[in-house]
Each structure stands twice: as structure tokens, then as C-alpha cells.
Structure 1
């Protein structure tokens, strides 16, 4: 049983993955628990929890390592450009060819494309695949902070074409208050609190995941309560899953060839592929909660990101494992 659990974990099918699926089913059968009429103060809990997540994220960042990481500037520019510009432009091209105006799933796909990279899974996969680990740590960290500004700008460009209301100034203010300021405070307290964070990594990880599960539950509960998924068949959702997997594979291949065009080493190419192709469910859930105040709409918009998140863990983990084995065979 332990071997089965370990094997599933290697391809991203861990406890958190199954809990995410459970939250969707829980929201479907008990939507009243997650709506604004719920007797449970879930919105207040998630709001406070989000600030704590990013405070401790700031504590984990080392100012010295961030400064030292500036040296490999060409690699950093490519990673950030693929994350924040290549991704959205690719989706816009496909939207222009096949998109349906007013479709929230298309909007959700563009939203995931505009998001920053993940931190933990990007770094872990680069490490497994034998890539440039210091560069991965630097880029994943910078991506999370840069995304606070770039993602809302992309959505401001996209949203006037839809019926979803969006106030860029208000969004910057709310994200700064809930995300950026806690990160900065945590960064300033790095020396004082890093020991505490390192000792309690497992507890803090469980806390982070618990808050994300609450955000997912409340978003889907509101959508199910308002019957927002009634227009989408199971076949469409399976089709969306297939498209998200194809999208992930397409971006990996594209980033491989972009890296080769810059004549990056095998290690740097690996870093571009894994840092540039990942999208953060944590920041997607947090920023989406601010940018899409209507939880009914937010549940549908979050769906492509959740599917992509699960698939990037499964496919990415398997690929990283294979690349790491090939590197060991060559050595």
C-alpha cells in the first residue's frame, strides 16, 4: 500500500489532489455550506488565511539569494517572458481562431495563462530533472511577486470584452494589501523567523493547502448553487481536460525550442521548461477571489486552472522523473 501511495505521489496523485476533487463533490452536494448565506464564516477565514500564506512565503525568501540570482539575466528574462507573455499570446491566438465570446471557460483558460509560475512544484521538478536549481528558485520566487501586477493588467485588457466587471486600481490595492504587503513584511523578518518556518514546514504546508481547499470549495459551492455548470456536459469537461493536457504539452515543446534558440545548456533549458510551463493554483485562487468578486462566475473561471494544475503535476512529475533518469544514465 505504501509503494502504491509513493508511486501515485510521484505523478502528482497525492492527498491534496484527491482532496481538491473531494471539495468539488462536497460543493455539489452541499452548496449551501459555501454560499454567502452559510452559517460558517468561510470567507473571513480564507481572507485571513491568504495573508498568512504570503507572509510565511515572504519569510522563506532569502534576500541574499535573490540578489545573487540576478547574474543569469538572459535565462531569467526568457522564463518570465514565457510565463507572462508567450502563454497569454498563445491563448489569444487560439481564442481568435476557435473562441466563443462570453464563454467563461475560455476566460478561465486565459486567466490561467496570465498567472505566475508555481514555486514549490517548479523547484522540485527542476531538481528531479537535473536542471539549474538556483535559477529555478530565483525565477519561481520573482514570478510570484511580478504576477501581482502583470496578471491583473492582462485581465484588464481581456475583461472589457466580457460581461465580467473589473476595476484595475481596486484590484492592485486589494492584492497589495492581501498579498504584496504580507510578502514584504515576511521578507524583512526572514532572519528572525526562518528558523521557525523551517521547523514547521509540514504544518505550514498543510495550512496553505487547507486555505486553498476552502477557496475552491466556496467558489464551486456558489457556482453549483446558481446552476452555472448546467450548460456544460460531462463530454465537454472531459474535452476541456484533454485540451489542458495538450496545452501543457504544447507549451513544454515550445519552451524547449525557445531555449534551444538561445543556445541554453541542458540545465538551463530544463529550468525554462518547468518554471515557464507551470501555473500557480495558490495565486490563481487568491487573485481570482479579488478579481472576480462574483463567486458564481469565479467557480467556472477556476475550473480550467484546477484541471491544468492537476495535469501539470501528473505529466510534469513523470517527465521530470524520466529526464532525471536520462541524465544519470549519461553520467
Structure 2
């Protein structure tokens, strides 16, 4: 059942319902202003709780297996952006959605699904926890800086340096405050993981509703065709395939063990919807957020389906290998 949930991802269904609601009943006027304020408050609370969840032991533990962590971070924040830049040359989709592909490439890795897939594939779960956590922690700073650097080129004015300053205050400051408050609230956060998860999801849904409301009011669905959406999905698939092949080859080149190579592939190939939506909501103008996070939402589901199949295959191979070894010993 857990594996089935990884493929179907009920949260994506809620996201699609939220997009549909914003398309039919978009927030306008004072309603849009109120929705924006509530969404911003949700983002602050979300990153405060993320800071409270991350233990100092996990941070210091990142010093171990440094080659693996550097390879994962290099894939996430160097190779992935290069792929995103290359895809910018495809002019068959609207400019904002092309910008969304590049924004997708600049996001940190996921945490929950990276660890879950590593466990299913019988990889190094402890290393996956550290790599994914480090990626998310660094992404709060690196993603806005990369966006400022790469998305300003070519005359694009989607963001400004003041937007980056804003994200430091709205995301990084709550994260740091949450981490500093961990001695007092860490136990509560650990005991109420379900509640924290609901806050995460509710915050994201609020941002998506606010973003797509603004985009719909600006005429999003009149400017994007079905053919463009189909092409966008194909580009997301192409991006994932390229990175999966790259991480597989890099793991072999660096001589990683099977368990560590699995960590590199699953942590290096993921992009975080949970981080991407709030960051986009802070960085970009309200009307631009909808089309920019479309690639993130598509890639999220595609990566879940593809990596679930890979994880099952790797897990079955490991089980067969273990059975063969047992038979040999017997």
C-alpha cells in the first residue's frame, strides 16, 4: 500500500483540485489580497517547522561520506541547472513555462520520497537522510541565488535582488528561528508529525490557489494550449531520464558501492515540490507563479512514478542477490 501511495500520490490529486478550483473560482480583489496574506503566513510557519524538525546531529553527520554528498549536491545544483539551461532553447512553449523548467532545475532535492525510495531499493538509508536534508537546507539559500543569477539573463526581469532579500527573511529567518527553538519545541514536532505534515500540505495548497488565481485572472488558460502542456510533460520526462542516466554513470565512475550509488540516483534526481512552491510564491510576481510552478507539479508526479518502478527493481535485484548468497552458503 505504501508503494502504491508513492505512485498515485494523493497530495497531487489535492493539488489538481486546487488548480481546478482556482480556475473556476479565482480569488479576486480583496479576496486575492487576503489569500496572498494567508499563503505568506503559511510559508513562514512551514519553514519555521522545517527548522525545528532538523536535528543538529543530522547536520554534523553530513561530514561523513563527503564524496557521496558532494556528488549529490553537484548533481542537484550544477548538472540539473545545466540541463535546465539547455531546455531554455526550446521555444515551442510560453516563456513563463520555459522559465518554470529552469526554476525546476534549480530546486533542492526532496526528503521523504528520496529516503522512501532508497529504503525500498535497499540502499544506504542513513546517507539518504543526510544528503536529502542537506540539499533542502542549502536550497533555502542556493536556489534563490541561482534564480537571481540564471533567470536574470537574456533580459528577463522575473525577479530582482530585493526578491532574494525577501526570501531570506520569509524563508531563511523562520527556518533559523525554528532550529534555534528546537530544544523547546522539537519534542512536540517529533510527536506530532502528522500535524506538521498537514501544515506543510495546507501551506502549499494555499500558495497554489493564490498563484493560480492570479494567473487565471491574467488569462493563463487562454494562453496555454493542450499541445504546449503535452510538450511540457515530455520535456519533464526528458529532464528526468537525462539526470537518472547521469547519476547512474557518475556512481560507477566514482566507484560507489551499490548502496551509495542508489542514494546518489534517488537524491540527485529529485526536485522538491514542498520547497519549490513556497519559494516561487516569494520570488516571482503573483501572475507569473502559476505557469512557473506547472513544470514543478508535472515533474513531481513523473519522478514519483519512474523512481517507484526503479526502486522496486533495485529492491528485487538485492533480494535475489541475497537469496543466491544464502543458497551458496547452504
Same fold (TM over 0.5): yes
In structure 1, distance between residues paired with 2:196 and 2:246: 35
Q: Is 1:210 paired with 2:220?
A: no
In structure 1, distance between residues paired with 2:93 and 2:30: 32
Aligned to 1:19: 14
Residue 39 of structure 2 contacts residue 203 of structure 2 at CA under 8 Å; is this kept in 1? yes
Secondary structure, aligned partner of 1:117: coil
Give the aligned length. Answer: 321
Aligned to 2:43: 50
Specify which of 37, 56, 74 is matched with residue 63 of structure 1. 56
Q: Using the TM superposition, give the Cα deviation of residue 20 of structure 1 relative to its aligned residue in structure 2, in angstroms.
A: 0.7
Q: Using the TM superposition, give the Cα deviation of residue 101 of structure 1 relative to its aligned residue in structure 2, in angstroms.
A: 9.7
Secondary structure, aligned partner of 2:303: helix
Aligned to 1:315: 306
Q: Is 1:104 paired with 2:96?
A: yes
In structure 1, distance between residues paired with 2:158 and 2:105: 19
Aligned to 1:273: 265
Q: Using the TM superposition, give the Cα deviation of residue 182 of structure 1 relative to its aligned residue in structure 2, in angstroms.
A: 1.8
Aligned to 2:166: 174
Residue 247 of structure 2 contacts residue 268 of structure 2 at CA under 8 Å; is this kept in 1? yes
The more displaced of 250-259 and 126-135 is 126-135
Q: Is 1:201 paired with 2:193?
A: yes
Q: Is 1:76 paired with 2:69?
A: yes
Secondary structure, aligned partner of 1:166: coil
In structure 2, distance between residues paired with 1:267 and 1:54: 31
Over the residues paired in the alignment, what is the CA RMSD in angstroms? 2.0
Task: In structure 1, list runs of 5 or more residues that go unmatched.
Answer: none
Q: Using the TM superposition, give the Cα deviation of residue 188 of structure 1 relative to its aligned residue in structure 2, in angstroms.
A: 2.3
Residue 47 of structure 2 contacts residue 174 of structure 2 at CA under 8 Å; is this kept in 1? yes
Secondary structure, aligned partner of 1:38: helix
In structure 1, distance between residues paired with 2:32 and 2:82: 43
Q: Using the TM superposition, give the Cα deviation of residue 94 of structure 1 relative to its aligned residue in structure 2, in angstroms.
A: 3.4
Aligned to 2:242: 250
- Aligned positions of 1:90-101 closer than 5 A: 90-96=83-89, 98-99=90-91
Specify which of 10, 13, 30 is matched with residue 6 of structure 2. 10
1:272–1:298 Cα change, 3 Å: same
Aligned to 1:224: 216
In structure 2, distance between residues paired with 1:38 and 1:241: 32
Residue 69 of structure 1 contacts residue 134 of structure 1 at CA under 8 Å; is this kept in 2? no
Residue 87 of structure 2 contacts residue 98 of structure 2 at CA under 8 Å; is this kept in 1? no
The more displaced of 193-202 and 252-261 is 193-202
Residue 83 of structure 2 contacts residue 239 of structure 2 at CA under 8 Å; is this kept in 1? no
Q: Using the TM superposition, give the Cα deviation of residue 111 of structure 1 relative to its aligned residue in structure 2, in angstroms.
A: 0.4
